[in-house]
Amino acid sequence: MNHFFKVKSLEEVLALREDFPCLGTERVDVARSCSRVLAEDLRAPRDMPGFRRATMDGYAVKASSTFGATESSPAWLKITGTILMGDEPGFALKPGEAARISTGGMLPRGADSVVMVEHSQTVDETSVEIYKSVAPLQHVIDRSEDFPKDQVAIPRGTRIRPQEAGLAAGLGFSSLEVFKTPKVGIISTGDEIIPIEEEPGPGRIRDINSYTLAGFVEEAHGLPVRYGIVRDDPSDLRLACEKALAETDMVLISGGSSVGTRDYTVEVLSNLPDTRIRVHGMSISPGKPTILAHSGNKPVWGLPGQVTSAMVVLKIVVLPFLRRLMGAAGTDGLVRVKARLARNLASAQGRREFARIMLEDRGDELLARPVLGKSGLIRTMVHADGLLEIGEHVEGMEKDRMVDIILL
């Protein structure tokens, strides 16, 4: 077992993401594009909104016609028309003139601002008093203020949210080129693991990992595919791996990564065609006996069987690889918040540790309370709101220190 525990740092493992290509692309209707990752720069085909547009109900004016206006000395303007929603004004404004306009209406030529109706008083059908001056472009969106023509409105690698979908629609895109959604195969291993429908006897436990891992994959916008429970038999594990590799883009094997006469994961993966072990051992806790294999262009993970270890490794290490497959650009996808540590927290040097943290809202700040317990206890994750990363050269952290918490 010459691959075992040639321990790599977290940074070394994460750097291997670049060795795995993004998935292919497909075109989807913009109405179904939310949560997908854009596969090309989306450029504005025209100025947006394309015309000067009012952001308030009131009067379209030339700003200079209102300079110096006050309640005691209002500006007196001539009303030359009313602009209806959706219409292009067929007239131009001269200095000293105003036109009635509603929010969203197009300003006429010669107008560069809008006086709010609250700051005006109609004298008669043709005259209005203005009680407050406005600056050029006040209460107005200029013709290219949102996006000028040919500017990249949404860059490649952006995960599309409702606001990006709305922008694409506003620019006239009925469909978008997006990366395909990665399918993630999940295999649970171990003679002690039983289906959740069964009653566990002595030495047996129900399958937890395939459900927690699938949940994290779904949350990260991947598509989990569960392949059930595989007994501690190398032939069965090989068949399950071959099937998962043929049908999915990434494979997760929970269990079988630590020392033991029945832990066959490394041997099975090493004997698969076009497969090599890239990682067997990481300097993190929990999760040291993690395996990463390169099978063709696909990552295959051997995750610890302990439920907390498996979830921490998936959150911190595996999900960045999933983001790589789906073409997501930018950060690692982790959301962090600041919190004050509620107590001293010890840590062993030489490994990166991820402590489970419960957050308490104190109004003006968050308090981070460590959740104590062994890696085999799922309650430590159930009670946790996030993870505190402690560096490998840090002995511990002192009470009242401000820390970054990775939200779960």
How crowded is residue 209: how many other Cβ atoms within 10 Å of its Cβ? 28
Are 82 and 125 contained in the same domain?
Answer: yes
Please report where in the chains the tokens 């918040």 appear, as a residue. Answer: 337
Residues 154, 112 within the same domain:
no
Question: How, if at all, do strands 183-189 and 223-230 pair?
Answer: parallel
Whether residues 108 and 169 share a domain: the answer is no
Average pLDDT, integer, range 150-165? 96
Q: Is the pLDDT reported for residue 286 higher than 60?
A: yes
- Could you tell me which residues come within 8 angstroms of residue 90 by beta carbon, excluding any fewer than 6 positions away? none
Mean pLDDT of the chain: 92
Instruction: Answer yes or no: are the C-beta atoms of 160 and 33 closer than 8 Å.
Output: yes
Decide: 179 and 25 in contact? Cβ < 8 Å. Answer: yes
Do 120 and 200 lie in one domain? The reply is no
Residue 2 counted as domain residue: no
Domain boundary among 292, 325, 358: 325
121/214 same-domain check: no
CB 323 within 8 A of CB 333: yes
Asked if residue 336 has pLDDT above 60, the reply is yes
In the chain, the number of structural domains is: 4
**pLDDT for 257:** 56
Residues 84 and 189 in one domain: no
Assess if residue 330 is contained within a domain.
no
Q: Would residue 1 count as lying in a domain?
A: no
For position 64, which CATH number holds? 2.170.190.11
Q: Which tens digits make up the pLDDT trace of 90-123?
A: 999 999 999 999 999 999 999 999 999 999 999 9
| Confidence (pTM) | 0.85
CATH number, domain at 377?
2.40.340.10
- 364-370 contacts: CB < 8 A, separation 24 or more? 365/338, 365/339, 365/340, 366/337, 366/338, 366/339, 366/340, 366/405, 367/339, 367/340, 367/342, 368/339, 368/340, 368/341, 368/342, 368/403, 368/405, 369/342, 369/343, 370/341, 370/342, 370/343, 370/345
pLDDT score at 262: 44
Q: What is the pLDDT of residue 236?
A: 92
Over the stretch 288-327, which tens digit does the pLDDT of each residue have?
889 999 999 999 999 998 899 999 999 999 999 999 999 9
Residue range 214-226: mean pLDDT, rounded: 96
Is residue 375 a part of any domain in this protein? yes
Question: How does pLDDT run across 381-408, given as a tens digit for each residue?
Answer: 999 999 999 988 888 888 999 999 999 9
Per-residue pLDDT band for 205 (boundaries 50, 70, 90) equals confident
In this structure, the answer to whether residues 342 and 305 fall within a common structural domain is no
Tens digit of each residue's pLDDT (9 = 90 or more) over 120-129: 999 998 999 9
Tell me if 4 is assigned to some domain. Answer: no
Task: Tell me: do 153 and 196 sit in the same domain.
Answer: no
Per-residue confidence (pLDDT) for residue 349, from 0 to 100? 74
Does 403 map to a domain? yes
Q: 58 and 167 share a domain? A: no
Give the pLDDT score at 1.
44
190 and 165 in a common domain = no
Specify whether the CB–CB gap between 287 and 312 falls below 8 A: yes
Highest-scoring range by mean pLDDT, 43-47, 327-331, 342-346, 372-376: 43-47
Mean pLDDT computed over 325-340 = 88
Q: Is the dihedral of CA 191, 188, 294, 240 positive or negative?
A: positive
Q: How confident is the model at residue 264 (pLDDT cuts 50, 70, 90)?
A: confident
Nearest to 140 by CA among 57, 44, 45, 47: 57
Does 131 fall in a domain? yes
pLDDT at position 360 over 50 = yes
Task: Among 179, 202, 233, give the residue marking a domain's end.
Answer: 179
Question: What range does the domain containing 44 cover?
Answer: 25-48+145-179
Q: Which of 141, 170, 195 is the last residue of a domain?
A: 141
Q: Are residue 187 and residue 268 in the same domain, yes or no?
A: yes
Q: Are residues 42 and 59 in the same domain?
A: no
34-81, pLDDT tens digit by residue?
999 999 999 999 999 999 999 999 999 999 999 999 999 999 999 999
